[in-house]
Chain A
Amino acid sequence: MIKFSFLLFSIAIANGCMGQKKQATTPIIFETVCKGDISILNKNLVNDFGENYTITKLKYYVSNVKFETREKRKTTGDVNLIDAAKKNIISLPVTNKKNITGISFLLGVDSILNCSGAQSGALDPLNDMFWTWNNGYIFFKLEGNSKVSKADLHRIEHHIGGFKGSNKTMRKIYLPINEALLKGKKNLVIQLDINKYWNGINKLKLAEQPVIATPGILAKNVADNFDAMFSIKNN
């Protein structure tokens, strides 16, 4: 009898602890590189226009990360703040690897979450990614310095955001993957090549635009370069 009640008790406890079924997940790692070099912060870098610069801070939002499959998948609604100074791992539930055609995410935060009031976690204004005077999240924040910058202290300050109208800056990123790419891999590494930030569809010269700190056409032009920055590490 005692044994029986113990059994009941432990089943109840176990149920309580494992209220959610453990689902298989794939770790997605976000890395920042510059022309293949991992770790870019506080290093001398040169862009394709021959401009020397250093990045001291790089943070950006990645939301709705999901595997694209042949079936329709619901958006996850997750918002993650990626910080180049930290390890960034997102665990993504995976159902059937055979069905996966790609991985997608929104660089930025969708418009509703930009005006939903006080939020916690990645969207806590404490993360210093929220414009207090012109409400909305900074989707992509790059700070550093360069001798070619004419701004105060030769600084580079690109705070890219804006979620309204034609100047909105969130971008859906889609990276195709196939079964072969996933084979034998424990995780998936998504790389952001900062060199392509400057040299993309739009050519961004540091000497011309060291500071962008409001939503608008300049920010929109930067956002048009977002898509080409990302790729899946192939090894």
Chain B
Amino acid sequence: MKFKVTIFFFLFFAAALLLISAGKILYAPTPLKFSVPKGFPAPPTNIFTKNRLTPQGFDLGKKMFYDARLSKNGEVSCASCHQQFAAFATYDHDLSHGVNNSFSNRNAPALINLAWMKEWHWDGGISHIEMLPLSPLSAANEMGEKLDTVILKLKADASYTRMFKAAFGDATITTERMLKAFAQFTGSLVSADSKYDKVKRGEATFILPEQKGYEIFKANCNSCHREPLFTDNSFRSNGIMLNRFNDVGRQAITQDKKDSLKFKVPTLRNIALTLPYMHDGQINSLEKVITHYTTLNTGIVNLDPLLTKKINLTDKEQKQLVLFLYTLTDTSFTKNKRFAP
């Protein structure tokens, strides 16, 4: 009898231990592999080391990205200004619309290959990809919602409770988890399958004007819009003068006069889809952008040293350059169902 009771206690104890550890084992979301495309450099930091990429985390990030309810009036989502068909920029809008018919002060940057950046936004004010959503969520002229209200909205929705549990093991909804899930989605937005990439991989060939355009590109544009990311992610002054918002760009972040009117060099990937151009969308076609550079007043104060040498291109060369830029369009990115709502 005594022996039986002892066994019973041991079994009970063992079962209790097993249950406790099972709680940890049962939460086992399949890891999702983040692959660096062929020819791409390794990202400067691995954004997924402290934020394990999983399908559940990615799906949660995507759901929030497309959820307009998170904005103050329920009308604006991240995707309102970052449209997939426009390579996650706002198509044909110099500035984007925020809540209550407000306007942003800058052109919505395309969300392309964010995992290769070290600082985000036109002025590099964002120091970590996970912190990227805080500004658009709360800025009065974007989604305009208070962070604590965003969290309350997520908590009030049973489908979010389920998805947070699937992604993080329990249903607790915190800022940290929300931001990590956002980063799993935005960090996964990789574009590396344009015609240019296919040519590089030997799967396609440029037609002659594209090839000529590529050579012009390499001779005149490649030092800032460096292959294969088509940006060196630096901050430069490209001759766009102070605009009506008195936007000094990088200087507002560093408080350094040398950074006056410096903005981040944007990627040229999918550039045909991300019109209009420049930090305030003031140039509405690729042809005019090229004209900006060929007619640039090289005496402008603070102009990037690389632009002080006059760029001379014939009309024909300019057209060839545009044709090359078209080869950077990646429809497998803009039509990827994985990134769609």
Residues of A within 8 A of B (CB): 1-2, 4-6, 9, 12, 114-120, 124-126, 128, 130, 132-136, 164, 167, 214-217
Contacts and interface: CB of A to CB of B under 8 A. Distances in A.
A217 B176 CA distance: 31
Contacts of B190: none
20 contacts: A1-B2, A2-B5, A2-B9, A5-B10, A6-B9, A9-B9, A12-B13, A114-B127, A117-B50, A117-B130, A118-B131, A118-B178, A120-B176, A124-B175, A125-B131, A126-B148, A133-B139, A134-B125, A134-B253, A135-B125
Contacts of B253: 134
B9 A124 contact: no
A135 B174 contact: no
User: Which secondary structure dominates chain B's binding surface?
Assistant: helix
A115 B132 CA distance: 12
Interface string B142-169: 0000011001000000000000000000
A132 B9 contact: no
Contacts of B252: 134, 214
A112 to B, nearest CB: 11
A119 B176 contact: yes
Given A1-B2, A6-B9, 20 more contacts: A1-B3, A2-B6, A5-B9, A9-B13, A12-B13, A114-B127, A115-B128, A117-B50, A117-B180, A117-B183, A118-B175, A118-B176, A119-B176, A120-B176, A124-B176, A125-B147, A126-B151, A132-B134, A133-B139, A135-B131
B129 interface: yes
A214 B127 CA distance: 16
Given A132-B134, A132-B139, A216 B255 contact: yes
B135 interface: yes
A2 to B, nearest CB: 5
Contacts of B255: 167, 214-217
Contacts of A167: 255
Nearest to B2: A1
Given A124-B174, A217-B255, A135 B128 contact: yes
Given A118-B180, A136-B127, A125 B174 contact: no
Contacts of B175: 118, 120, 124-126
Interface string B175-189: 111111001000000
Contacts of B211: none
User: Which secondary structure dominates chain A's binding surface?
Assistant: loop
A12 B148 CA distance: 41
**Most A C-beta atoms less than 10 A away, residue of B148, B183, B252, B253:** B253
Given A1-B2, A135-B131, A117 B126 contact: no
B133 to A, nearest CB: 9
Contact of A132 (B10, B129, B131, B254): B131
Contacts of B50: 117
A119 B10 CA distance: 41
A6 B176 CA distance: 42
Given A126-B147, A126-B151, A132-B134, A117 B5 contact: no
Given A5-B6, A134-B252, A134-B253, A117 B139 contact: no
A9 B51 CA distance: 38
B200 to A, nearest CB: 32
Interface in B1-44: 2-3, 5-6, 9-10, 13
A118 B130 contact: yes
A120 B179 CA distance: 11
A216 to B, nearest CB: 4
Nearest to A121: B176
B57 to A, nearest CB: 12
Nearest to A130: B134
